[in-house]
Amino acid sequence: MPNPREFIPEFIGQRESERVELVLFKHWYMLALPLLKALGIIVLSLGIPIWLHWSSFIFSYGLSTILYYGWLVFWIAYMVYAYTNWYRDRFIVTSERIVDVDQRGLFSRKVSEVELIKVQNITHTVEGPAATMFNFGTVIIQSAGANDVVLDRVADPAGVQEEITRLVKAANAGSAVTAEELIEFIKTNRGQ
């Protein structure tokens, strides 16, 4: 039986002190386009030979049969690749930081992060008729350092911006230093 106090991370690299607030994926529309393209090609690849009576030609020669099935397997693999890329490409907002996991293929990913206390500006954009109709866009998080995090094509970018702003304010609430604390720090460290 596992220890109830044992820390079980929700994602790789999660700190014990942080909790996951949001896990965002790219909008479903970004997955629908490649899936519909592949499904359309598969349906046409199955339907055209039947409609034009090419089935006997395709299946009477070994090479044409291999090419035909290879073509179908390619588009099925394309659908699996598109889904895997969409599913593994995510944005994780915790109580301490924002992590952007950018999946760049099956065996490549880039992970960027910015601490909430270093966030200086948050903006969002919605561009194009599809993005306006389905309410998805880009949220740009600018930090004190050179690494900005771009949450690309997320659903409800205004709501995401609002939630991240709330978390940034909460993270910065306890980090303000009073003048008395600063004077005391200077006095105690003056001689060192």
Beta strands in 32-174, from DSSP E residues, in sequence order: 90-94, 97-103, 109-115, 119-125, 136-143, 149-155
Residue 25 identity: F
Determine how many CB atoms are found less than 10 A away from the CB of residue 18.
Answer: 16
What pLDDT is recorded for position 191? 58
pLDDT at 38: 94
According to the model, what pLDDT value does residue 155 have? Answer: 93
Q: Are 88 and 23 in contact (CB under 8 A)?
A: no
> φ and ψ at 130, to 5 degrees?
-65, -45
In the prediction, which pLDDT does 114 show? 87
CA quadruple 132, 152, 92, 27: dihedral sign: positive
List the chain pLDDT tens, one digit each, 192 residues: 454 556 566 777 778 788 888 888 899 998 999 999 999 999 998 888 878 777 777 777 778 788 888 999 999 999 999 999 899 888 988 888 888 888 887 788 888 888 888 888 999 999 999 999 999 999 999 887 767 888 989 999 999 999 999 988 888 876 666 677 777 777 777 755
- Alpha-carbon dihedral sign for residues 174, 176, 179, 182: positive
Distance separating alpha carbons of residues 124 and 189, to the nearest angstrom: 43
- What are the beta bridge partners of residue 99? 92, 113
Q: Give the Cα separation of 65 and 63 in Å (integer).
A: 5
Cite the beta strand spans of the chain per DSSP E: 20-25, 90-94, 97-103, 109-115, 119-125, 136-143, 149-155
Confidence (pLDDT) at 192: 56
pLDDT at 1: 43
> Which residues, including other chains, have CB under 8 Å from residue 190's CB and lie 6 or more apart?
none
